[in-house]
Amino acid sequence: MKAKEIRELSNTEIESRLREVREALVQLRMRKHTGQVEKTHELRDLRKDVARLETILNEKNTAAA
């Protein structure tokens, strides 16, 4: 996801998307350990998505306070 897309979401939508991405990351890590992952760059992409989501969520929360 792009940062611009994330900023347009509400806090609850960002939190639900964050849960989804974290779950996908866990599943991908498990598949990697069993040798079933061909596209290892997806791990890095998901980690960056988590960081983007958390950063923007924190920005929104501090701006509201």
Domain at 3-64, CATH from 1.10.287, 1.10.150, 1.10.1060, 2.50.20: 1.10.287
Q: Show me where the domains of the chain are located.
A: 3-64
Joined tokens for residue 36: 């079933």
Q: What is the pTM of this model?
A: 0.90
Task: Let me know: does 11 contact 39? Beta carbons within 8 Å.
Answer: no
State yes or no: pLDDT of 3 exceeds 80.
yes
Supply the DSSP symbol for 17: H
> Using 50, 70 and 90 to split pLDDT, how confident is the model at 24?
very high
What's the whole-number mean pLDDT along residues 37-63?
A: 94
